[in-house]
């Protein structure tokens, strides 16, 4: 197919990768925005979810928050920021929108993971005289780890994929390659941009799966 051949040609052209608007620069912006957003979302969501899971309260809140999050279009959130003075704050609006988007899956998965830890195991650990803190670090956290990582992975992939929308409000990232192609009716460039984002999302997923395997506290027993 002609478009695929021309897309390949676009990707193979060095000039498309170099410079301020080049693919490498856009890739850097994309990774920076997604990375900062993920780090902030984890810093906000994980402590709260793990604590709520430990004390066993607030589950309905976490689930409802996640469901409500799906109803809010990221594009609308970003657009709302762009008509406030925040628009001149560089990547701040994009990062806030992405954090709002990443918190619900992180929160729900971490909370559910903590709650699904076998109660009998928790009781046994308590019976052995473990304090709340020891129980949390040695029993609940390792057992909840797979669910926490699942949440982290889906949040990361969604954030990388969604960061493209920043381009629709004139911000940087790989989405800019797509919107620039749209504006000049350059279909191969649009497809090339889309491919780059999809590959990046799959790469992030693969890296996180590898990290998950390497650091899983249960890897010796499974």
Partner 1 sequence: MAGQDCLVTNDWICGEYLRSRSQELIDATVQHVGITGASVAIGLVVSFPLALLARSRPRFAGPVLGLTTVLYTIPSLAMFSLLLPFFGLSAALVVTGLVLYSLTILVRNTVAGLEAVPAEAREAARGMGYGPARLLWEVELPLALPALMAGLRIATVSTVALTTVGSIVGRGGLGNLIEDALPSFFKAQVLTASVLCVLLAVAADLLLLGAQRLLTPWTRIRDAGTRGAH
- Select 51 or 75, whichever has its Cβ closest to partner 1: 75
Retrieve residue 70's tokens. Answer: 């799906």
Site for partner 1 in 182-201 (CB under 8 A): 182, 187, 190-191, 193-195, 197-198, 201
Least separation in angstroms between CB 138 and partner 1: 32
DSSP states of 128-180 as a string? TT--HHHIIIIIIHHHHHHHHHHHHHHHHHHHHHHGGGGGGGT--STHHHHHH
Neighbours of 28 (CB within 10 A): 14
Determine the Cα angle at 188 with ends 91 and 18, to 5°.
Answer: 50
Contact letters for partner 1, residues 101-140 (x by CB under 8 A): ----------------------------------------
Tokens encoding 149: 């990582």
Query: 33 by DSSP, 3-state: which?
Result: helix
Q: Kindly tell me which of 135 and 151 has the beta carbon lying closer to partner 1.
A: 151
Please give the residue ranges that form the binding site for partner 1 (CB under 8 A). 1, 3, 67, 70-77, 79-80, 82-83, 87, 157, 160-165, 167-169, 175, 178-179, 181-182, 187, 190-191, 193-195, 197-198, 201-202, 205
């Amino acid at each position: 197919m002609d478009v695929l051949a021309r897309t390949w040609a676009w990707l193979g052209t060095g000039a498309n990768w170099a410079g301020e608007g080049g693919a490498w620069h856009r890739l850097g912006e994309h990774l920076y925005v997604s990375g900062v957003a993920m780090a902030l979302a984890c810093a906000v969501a994980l402590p709260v979810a793990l604590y709520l899971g430990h004390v066993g309260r607030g589950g309905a809140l976490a689930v409802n928050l996640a469901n409500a999050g799906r109803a809010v279009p990221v594009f609308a959130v970003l657009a709302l920021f762009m008509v406030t003075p925040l628009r001149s704050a560089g990547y701040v609006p994009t990062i806030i929108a992405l954090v709002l988007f990443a918190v619900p899956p992180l929160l729900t998965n971490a909370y559910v993971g903590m709650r699904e830890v076998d109660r009998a195991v928790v009781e046994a650990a308590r019976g052995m005289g473990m304090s709340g803190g020891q129980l949390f670090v040695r029993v609940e956290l390792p057992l909840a780890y797979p669910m926490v990582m699942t949440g982290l992975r889906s949040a990361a992939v969604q954030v990388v994929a969604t960061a493209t929308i920043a381009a629709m409000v004139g911000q940087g990232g790989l989405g800019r390659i797509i919107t620039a192609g749209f504006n000049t009716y350059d279909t191969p460039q649009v497809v090339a941009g889309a491919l780059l984002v999809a590959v990046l999302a799959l790469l992030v997923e693969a890296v996180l799966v590898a990290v998950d395997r390497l650091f899983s506290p249960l890897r010796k027993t499974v």
